[in-house]
Amino acid sequence: MSVDAATVRRIAHLARIAVTDDEVPHLQGELNAMLAFVEQLSEVNVDGVEPMTSVTPMEMKKRADVVNDGGIADDIVGNAPATDDHFFLVPKVVE
């Protein structure tokens, strides 16, 4: 796959990058080099290789999915000017 000058200008336009006509050939070469590298990767045999999310085998830490108040309701409303049963009291704004 190869990128032409029109495609470079289109990519620059979509990325909202100002590209002068002098920069187009350089960017064209850079993009073509990247695409050539990606094409090389498609030649690698990955049969039997399982997908992974990390190079280190690990399990996600899990906790019980229970509903609780966190046990710190007094700390949360501690600095509020007015509270009622662990709720913030605010002045009425709409009649």
Highest mean pLDDT, choosing among 16-20, 52-56, 71-75: 16-20
- Work out the average pLDDT over 26-49: 92
| CA nearest to 31, candidates 55, 57, 5 | 5
pTM of the model: 0.51
11 C-beta neighbours (distance < 10 Å), count: 15
pLDDT for the residue 59 = 82
pLDDT of 37 over the 90 cut: yes
For residue 89, what pLDDT band results from cuts at 50, 70 and 90?
Answer: very high
Q: Is the CB of residue 9 less than 8 Å from the CB of residue 24?
A: yes
β-strand pairing of 83-84 with 87-88: antiparallel
Residues 24, 3, 32: CA angle, nearest 5 degrees: 85
Give kind and range of the element (H or E) at residue 88.
Answer: strand 87-88
